[in-house]
Amino acid sequence: MRYIILILLLLSSLYCDASYNRGETIFFAKACTSCHGAAAEGSTTYPRLANKKEAYLLKRLHYFKNGDMLSVSQQMMAQFIQKLNEQNMKDLAHFLSHHKKVNMDDVSDDILGGFGS
């Protein structure tokens, strides 16, 4: 029984790392860094996304995908979210909620924004 639990824990940690990596790829491929920053730290205009609750982030992604927007900046989010499927949104929310600090040297050397960690 202990071995089964150990194997399940190992498999879940592998999935979480894979989900984190997929979310990180989506974050940089969709150019989220241009508004939210390379470390998802946000700015005075755009919110910080790093280390927020996963459920909250996923709810907001659904909000944008469904077109429930009021402001112009929220409307801009729709174009980035529309092509994401449910798994993509879960991976992105997982990445942001478990965000690790990005090594800025990795990002500044890459003209496309790099993939950070």
Give me the residue spans of the domains in the chain.
2-103
Range 46-64 burial, b when 16+ CB lie within 10 A, else e: beebbebeeeebbebbeeb
**Tens-place pLDDT, residues 46-67:** 899 999 999 999 999 998 888 8
Residue of 69, 87, 98, 100 whose CA lies nearest to 26: 87
Amino acid 53 reads K
**Tens-place pLDDT, residues 10-37:** 555 555 588 888 999 999 888 888 889 9
Q: Which fold has domain 2-103?
A: Cytochrome Bc1 Complex; Chain D, domain 2 (1.10.760)
